[in-house]
Amino acid sequence: MTFEELAMPLFASLYNYARWLTGEPGEAEDLVQETYLKALRGFASFREGTNFRAWMFRILRNTFLTSRTGLRATAMQPIEDDDQFVAEGDPETIFLHHADAQLLRQAILDLPLEFREVLLLADVENMSYREISEAMSIPVGTVTSRLTRARAKVRRNLQEKR
Amino acid sequence: MSEHLSAQTIESYADGELAAGRVRETEEHLRECAMCAGKLVAQLQLKRSIREAAWTLPPKNILRPRRQWPAYAALAAAAVLAIVVLIPRPNNELADLHTTILASANPVDVISTDRHTVKPWFEGKLPFSFPIPEFNGTPFHLAGGRVVYVHEQPVAYLMVMKGAHRISLFVGRDVPAPRIDAFESIAWTKNGLRYVAIGDVARADLDGLRVCFRD
């Protein structure tokens, strides 16, 4: 497979992800462009058999994290300790309706960056825990616990607003 | 009945990540236990709502150079631009419409389960007409319709229910075939009209819907 064949189908997904990272269309466009340029230059070092999608997302988020917006985002939001999680809020206490899309978007935006990322990769991109762990360079166990916490936070956020 | 499922088990199951050895016992419990099944439904619903709420389409002109690029990138940029010109971007327009309509407080303009109400409503609003089948005796029922615009052309929109699931059916002269990951979709052509069905249902359900429209 050529770079084009592998990379172009991911375009809309990468852009959507960039929008959620940067929060701003212009910056998201720049980020996606830079990601494709870096990926094109680095394609020779991409090993067949590894996950290309995870590789592209990893390039995108590394590019973002070293950008000015990314540095600001991570400086403001220290990673919370993953180990001390106690499950909270029963899933059944909240039933979402389509009309809540705006509230839901705000709840996703309110998540600390790392939580927002696992949630988007799992639920929007339908990535497996393994793929997410590759894209974010974190262990699978951390993916699981962050995901659980992200969803609990979203649920709690929505419950507070209704 | 076996012990209730943990929140973690329900979450892993919803994500399709439960260890293969545990799937059977989990499904057995879900069949017997309304409470855990309810939690699973809530979990799946949250997943789906997040997917629908969190999707944004890229703008059409995204890959033109916007700023001054470092010199080393100039060639690569040209290469990327060449790629973009050659390869059509995936079309998510209909998936977006589907999501937008479902998210709307008033998804349909004519609310009726009766095809004899919905069909005449379209008259004069569309430059074509198409038959709406009788859904009695099928797993589907009609919820209503409206007119939407795709590529500036009027397109009929029917909302068809399969149980609690809403399926969007677009009918028009030039309806683009969608490329969708998040939903199932099928497209077919009949009497010069293009039909595209999209929904969060099994592929077989959409095939069933197509069969309803064949006769």
Provide the mean pLDDT of chain B: 81
Tell me, what's the pLDDT at B182?
66
pLDDT one-digit tens code per residue, B140-158: 999 999 988 887 788 999 9
3-state SS, A84-105, equals CCCCCCCHHHCCCCHHHHHHHH
Whole-angstrom Cα distance, residue B102 to residue B203? 19
Residue-wise pLDDT for A71-93, tens only, equals 877 766 555 544 444 444 444 44
Joined together, the tokens standing for residue B100 give 């937008």
Is residue B79 very low, low, confident or very high in pLDDT (cuts 50, 70, 90)? low
Question: Does residue A20 have a pLDDT over 90?
Answer: yes
What is residue A119's predicted lDDT score, i.e. its pLDDT? Answer: 96
- Which carries the bigger pLDDT value, residue B183 or residue B165? B165
What is residue B80's predicted lDDT score, i.e. its pLDDT? 63
> Average of pLDDT values for A94-99?
52
Q: B81 touching A, CB under 8 A?
A: no
| Span A134-158, average pLDDT | 93
Residue with tokens 């166990």: A141
What residues of chain A lie within 8 A of the CB of B54, using their CB?
16, 20, 104-105, 108, 120, 123-124
Helix then strand then coil, in percent of chain B rounded to 5, is 40, 20, 40
pTM: 0.55
Helix (H, G, I), strand (E, B) or coil at A23: coil
Q: Is the pLDDT of residue B45 over 90?
A: no
* Per-residue pLDDT at A54 exceeds 90: yes
Closest chain A C-alpha to B215 CA, distance in angstroms: 33
B10 interfaces chain A, CB cutoff of 8 Å: yes
Give the three-class secondary structure for B104: coil
Give me the total of CB pairs closer than 8 Å, taking one residue from chain A and one from chain B: 132
Return d(Cα B176, Cα B194) in angstroms, integer.
Answer: 8
Q: Under an 8 A CB cutoff, do B92 and A151 touch?
A: no
User: B191 pLDDT band (50/70/90 cuts)?
Assistant: confident
Give the pLDDT score at A72: 78
Average pLDDT over residues B65-73: 49
